[in-house]
Structure 1
Amino acid sequence: MKPPIPGDVAEQAMHWHLELQERDVSEDTLAAWMNWRQAHPVHEHAWQRAEAFSQRMSDIRSPNQRPLVHAALRPTMSRRTAIKQLGVLMAAGAGAWSMKDAALLQDLTADYHSRIGEQRRIALADNTRLQLNTDSAINVVFEREVRRIKLLRGEILITLDKIADGRPLSIETAEGRLDVALARFSVRQRSGITQVSVYQGSLVINPSAQRQLAMTLQAGEQLSFNAQGLITRQAVALTPPAWSQGMLVAQGQPLQDFLDELSRYRRGHLACDPSLADIRVSGTFPLANTERIIFAVADTLQLDVQQFTRYWVTLKPRLT
């Protein structure tokens, strides 16, 4: 029996699979791909598994799963999280991937979604204005007595400055519900946590497991909560988040945290050498070109940019 494939190697194999689907693949890229395959037996094993895994997905005949296959395998529609999930599934074995159907189908079934790196503006029929941050998805339900937006993934900025027929607006996340009358606020779905920031007006937060612990959040406040209730509460600027203007702002942020945030806006793997994780980053960066941000930060901090492929970038200490 062949040894299991490490998660990072599985992810590299899936990155190579996407890289080779690009148009006009260069001879240098093909040579680098072959060098990677030949560098270690587990690399070749991972590549063979990636090809078999992709073929397995392509062979699916179910009408409900056919769109999933194309979304997952076409570089123009794949997402950073989907790449990681595919790598994990491929490493785990062919029988495990079907457990992730719901997560991969989320983009295809949402009422509205945004691509990686996109900030999408939406105006609803009741004058509610929305802006989706990168790689986000929502469902919208308008009923006779209630309006409801469900945040499936990512982050959204909502401006509600007119009352629509007396119907309240509810925002649902995995951890609870927000009830709003008039406000401007953002909601971000993290792993097991919802983060809410209010810039105008106020709203009420109801954790799903503790409805009796309703919390009112005023303008200038940010709150993070889980299903049981409050985790943190702190002040926030009254101005909308920088991403809504296409910017990324860092104020003394640890480099690894900065790269984690930046990676939300680009496909692939982005990290730094562990020895650099706590170096502080400050600046205001236009999100339109994440490559330029990476090289600008590396130049400022005197670091080297190591590119395994365009989807696999690591910052390393600069050799002197």
Structure 2
Amino acid sequence: MAQPLDYSTLEAAASWYVKLNAAQPSEAQVQAWRDWLGKSQAHAQAWARVEKLQRQLGRLPADVALPTLAGVRARRRAVLKTLALLMGVGITGWAVRESNTGRELMAGLRTGKGQRRHVTLADGSQLELNTDTALDIEFDGQQRLLRLYSGEIMVQTAADAAGRPFLVQTPEGRIRALGTRFSVHSEGGLSRVSVLEHAVEVRPADQPGQVLRLDSGQSVSFDAHQLGAVGSAAPGTGAWTDGMLTVIEWRLADFIRELRRYRPGLLRCDERIADLRLSGAFRIDDTDTVLQNLGTSLPVKVRYLTRYWVSVEPV
């Protein structure tokens, strides 16, 4: 039977999480962690709680995911923040601060890591939710509004007899559909819009007078203050709706970063192989197979510390 975990055991688990996540762990560090893990059932139980949080939240506090933590104080803050989560206190407060003031936690539509969802809206429009997405639907007599708090959606709008505009609001701004199919991805203070059919209008949140029209095949990224340069929609945009990730000459680090969106736990890429290039079509519903197959086309290996702790490294 599992025993209650004491403070020191949970603090040790939090410290190991920070040590292993703050830099590429050496074999000696990994072995020392394994030795600690195997010393008692309580240690294994505490580490299981770390992995449970990784599965539930997708990641632990953002500052412990940095490549390095500058100084003892920074490391200690990361340990204490992780410890608060492991003890089951402060989770709501942290999530509220880190997740668009917590509204995404109460969103009417959500998907978890690796999940996708299709919804037919009341007006007949088609909505696809990608992994780790949260939004609310607000249709009334004046407008058809989607409030996207985080994540990625694909929208195919339907004609509306009442002539109501179709809008997507993200923390960074507002997108107005002009009879169209388009995708919106909001993450880390940046929104990206790609148009597959017809056109949209984009307005940054803090500059509502600044309006940009995007036509079919175009894409733009923007924050709350300004619009970026208009470019072409990336090849394979929207392939995720069919469960695929299509890439052409991507850096391996960028590919791993994108794959991380579909996989719970920690997935990292060693800096020594970050600039290797990769092309292909990959099934996002089976990230284990994707990782296993990386070694057939690139000089890399995949190291599993646990099921939810994976590192892609040089051979």
Pairwise TM-score range, normalised by the shorter structure: 0.7 to 0.9
**Contact 1:198–1:238 at 8 Å: present in 2 too?**
no
Tell me which of 67, 70, 80 is aligned to 2:58.
Answer: 80
Q: Cα offset for 1:298? A: 2.2
Q: Does 1:191 align with 2:188?
A: yes
Tell me which of 203, 219, 229 is aligned to 2:200.
Answer: 203
Alignment-derived partner of residue 134 in structure 1 = 131
Q: Determine the C-alpha separation between the residues in 1 that align with 2:122 and 2:235.
A: 26
Q: Determine the C-alpha separation between the residues in 2 that align with 1:51 and 1:5.
A: 9
Q: Cα offset for 1:270? A: 1.0
Q: Cα offset for 1:8? A: 8.1
Q: Cα offset for 1:173? A: 0.4
- CA deviation map 1:273-318 (0-9, x unaligned): 2111101111111112100000111232132211000111111221
- How many residues get paired? 275
Aligned residue runs from structure 1 range 15-94, under 5 A: 35-37=35-37, 51=46, 78-81=56-59, 83-84=60-61, 91-93=79-81, 94=84
* 1:96–1:194 Cα change, 3 Å: same
Q: Cα offset for 1:107? A: 5.3
Query: Aligned residues: percent identity?
Result: 29
Q: Determine the C-alpha separation between the residues in 2 that align with 1:234 and 1:7.
A: 43
Q: Determine the C-alpha separation between the residues in 1 that align with 2:152 and 2:37.
A: 38
* 1:209–1:282 Cα change, 3 Å: same
- CA deviation map 1:177-226 (0-9, x unaligned): 11124110000002111100001111111111111111111111001111
Aligned residue runs from structure 1 range 1-320, under 5 A: 9-10=16-17, 35-37=35-37, 51=46, 78-81=56-59, 83-84=60-61, 91-93=79-81, 94=84, 97=91, 99-102=93-96, 103=98, 106=103, 108-236=105-233, 241-318=238-315
**Contact 1:11–1:84 at 8 Å: present in 2 too?**
no
- 3-state secondary structure, aligned to 2:241: helix
Structure 1: 5+ residue runs without aligned partners? Answer: 15-30, 55-71
* 1:212–1:106 Cα change, 3 Å: closer
- 2:94 maps to a residue whose letter is K
Q: Cα offset for 1:157? A: 0.2
**Contact 1:220–1:238 at 8 Å: present in 2 too?**
no
Q: Cα offset for 1:73? A: 8.7
- 2:58 maps to a residue whose letter is R
**Contact 2:104–2:149 at 8 Å: present in 1 too?**
no
**Contact 1:11–1:86 at 8 Å: present in 2 too?**
no
- CA deviation map 1:83-130 (0-9, x unaligned): 446978862344865531425755541111112112210011111110
**Contact 1:207–1:226 at 8 Å: present in 2 too?**
yes
Q: Cα offset for 1:140? A: 0.7
* 1:250–1:154 Cα change, 3 Å: same
Structure 2: 5+ residue runs without aligned partners? Answer: 1-7, 22-30, 66-76
**Contact 2:15–2:79 at 8 Å: present in 1 too?**
no
**Contact 1:121–1:130 at 8 Å: present in 2 too?**
yes
Please give the root-mean-square deviation of Cα atoms over the aligned residues, in Å. 3.6
* 1:252–1:133 Cα change, 3 Å: same
Alignment-derived partner of residue 63 in structure 1 = none
**Contact 1:10–1:90 at 8 Å: present in 2 too?**
no
**Contact 2:51–2:308 at 8 Å: present in 1 too?**
no
- 1:303 maps to a residue whose letter is V
Structure 1 range deviating more: 128-137 or 85-94: 85-94
Q: Cα offset for 1:13? A: 8.7
Alignment-derived partner of residue 57 in structure 1 = none
- 1:201 maps to a residue whose letter is H
* 1:85–1:229 Cα change, 3 Å: closer
Q: Cα offset for 1:231? A: 1.5
- 1:35 maps to a residue whose letter is D
